[in-house]
Amino acid sequence: MTIQELRSRAGEEIAVSPWHTVTQEQIDRFAEVTGDNQWIHIDAERARRESPYGAPIAHGFLTVSMLSGMAQECVKITDPAKMRINYGFNRLRFTGAVPAGSRIRTHFTLNSLKDVEGGVEIAWGVVVEVEGREKPALVAEWLGRTYL
């Protein structure tokens, strides 16, 4: 889809990513890289005994970091671009846990698209769904810039 085609679709869900399993190995590697080694993420036995989730859970920021890959899988903007960058978030909430072994997918809704110098800024409404649960894991407005 082109930027021009997107302009007329504000408020519409544009894409849904494929399902992704969040593994304990991913959680452990994320903990190692970030230094966030809290037991609720990496100590499976303790998490089974003491956490309200009965299992280790993914870091919220691991879920956030997966957004880029999920977007690339399903949001195809065909205009040639010099570069695409993350521009930040207007709103970001972790609304539910992602237990190790859960499958997640992201729904992408076009909130707005505006012209900026050299390109466009796209505000995506993103909702990360956890398979089998009504409550999402993450709700955000994510900003991206495409420079043409």
Query: Within a domain: residue 28?
Result: no
Digit-coded pLDDT (tens) for 121-140: 999 999 999 999 999 999 99
The answer as to whether 39 is a domain residue is no
Query: What average pLDDT does the segment 104-122 reach?
Result: 98
Q: Is 46 helix (H, G, I), strand (E, B) or coil?
A: helix
Average pLDDT (22-35) is 98
**For the domain that residue 75 is a member of, what is the CATH number?**
3.10.129.10
Cβ atoms within 10 Å of 60's Cβ, excluding its own: 17
Q: What is the pTM of this model?
A: 0.95
Residue type, 144: G
Residue 38 pLDDT:
97
Domain assignment present for 51: no
Domain count, the chain: 1
> What token pair was written down for 71?
């977007």
pLDDT at residue 120, rounded to an integer: 98
Average pLDDT, the chain: 97
